[in-house]
A and B are shown apart, each in its own frame.
Chain A
């Protein structure tokens, strides 16, 4: 793996890096806590409050900064978990075929077919509103797509002559899977993982927005929830919706830009373009 030189990838990494930094060093970046009443309610952006305040007088920028922690935690965890589970299922399914493939694909189909929002609602109701729930729900609805994509690529890889060649020189299934199939799947898996970040961050916002998350936790999604419920825009406090919305969009963009460049990082043939 070589470091990417593509400008788009660097922009993407910078964006995600920036938000990660913000999330980690949150307490040092703002004088206010997220739940600290520090000014008059609904005040517009000013020198003391760069993004204004909410209905209680809490600083919105602090909420954005601390909210990054939740949103990014959810984003990265879901991306990791869904990709891991999906890739495992797809790989085993595509490589072994036969009964194993049939069984795993039926399972995948079932989860795919279930409408994700109602499923999310049911699961959230069952598990109780919390960040943990959101992570679990998004992972469950997210892995099947990865599984399908990885399975497809695995099926095609296993037909290629170099896999035949491995068998002829005496490699067993394990060796073929780990030394040949997986390395050739890496770019696909990595690209999927990064795109999953986008889906997860947006998904988190969406689930919070409809009230399935824990409203007392500060995240970009719950900020949207509260600002919507309290009709922030009607009151002229557009900054309350804009700030978290913009952050979500930027993180999504950053992830997409990285995924564009991933093929270049992993594929030895494309390097140097």
Chain B
């Protein structure tokens, strides 16, 4: 799928500064707790994220892989400041994001963006595609006056592979799942972020269109010089998109390695178990006879 080039959206100067060793995003010993109570007597404190430390290099595609309850979504929510950690740090370009005040805090919203899992629920049902994508431009007073904003919005709609005539005035319920997710992507990119977190962006989409959205993300990452943290439970999808994969289980970071290294030479037993459990059509053809004996 070709994505039209648009000078208005490409890398704004200032980002191509001297590469130094500071990772773009760094988590140090991050811990996020939740209280889960059943009845008056047993209130359990659960570490949704338990002492996680990891760095994200500028320009990389990092996969955060885990099953439900692994803490990967909570970790992402902490990075976009939707939850506060009990201990540990989230450092963006070396600075603690939870120390930010005023302008710095607002600027963070232009540097880090997120795409959510549920294509329908992550868009305001009352807003049209146009209004949804324009919203961040209005909030941060980007792109000048109303007509400049409209043009920028138009470019964004095209950038994500949508036809403005067909979708701009539509509400989310009139769009397909794929179109909704593209709208969310356009909205996230409106502020020209440096870091994009994608939380299970294709899990709720039909299988036949998933790769289309992931290919779009790949292309946008390349075009706009993005750093992407891709959260998913699907190892095949992680392999397709990511340079490096981090495995999480019950809040803890189990293992991080370059994609092919992790898949071929996993060191942690959990990772090994995970890889063996993933259905793989090529492998199962070979093992069909022995699978029936295992179980």
Contact = CB atoms under 8 A, between A and B. Distances in A.
Direct touching of A and B (C-beta under 8 Å): yes
A169 B121 contact: no
Contacts of B113: 168-169
A268 B106 CA distance: 32
A246 interface: no
A169 B116 contact: no
A166 B82 CA distance: 11
Given A168-B80, A168-B114, A171-B135, A162 B124 contact: yes
A180 B124 contact: yes
B122 A169 contact: no
A1 to B, nearest CB: 11
Interface in A105-128: none
A221 B184 CA distance: 56
B126 A268 contact: yes
B250 interface: no
Contacts of B116: 161, 164-165
Interface in A161-188: 161-162, 164-171, 175, 179-180, 183-184
A267 B187 CA distance: 23
Majority-rule SS of A interface residues: helix
A184 B139 contact: no
B124 A171 contact: no
A169 B136 contact: yes
B121 to A, nearest CB: 4
Given A168-B114, A183-B126, A160 B139 contact: no
A12 to B, nearest CB: 24
B110 interface: yes
Contacts of B171: 268-269
B125 interface: yes
Majority-rule SS of B interface residues: loop
Contacts of A166: 124, 135
A186 to B, nearest CB: 9
A168 B82 contact: yes
B255 interface: no
A162 B126 CA distance: 11
B118, B122, B140: most-surrounded residue (chain A CB, <10 A): B122
Contacts of B135: 166, 169, 171, 179
A268 B173 contact: yes
A170 B123 contact: no
B191 interface: yes
A129 B127 CA distance: 48
Interface in B45-85: 77, 80-82
Nearest to B128: A268
A183 B191 CA distance: 25
B284 to A, nearest CB: 36
B80 A162 contact: no
B187 A169 contact: yes
B123 A165 contact: yes
B125 A170 contact: no
Interface of A: 160-162, 164-171, 175, 179-180, 183-184, 268-269
List 9 A-B pairs, minimum CB-CB distance, nearest first.
A170-B109, A161-B121, A169-B136, A183-B126, A269-B173, A161-B122, A170-B139, A268-B171, A162-B124
Given A169-B109, A183-B124, 10 more contacts: A161-B122, A164-B77, A164-B82, A166-B135, A169-B139, A169-B190, A171-B135, A184-B124, A184-B125, A268-B171
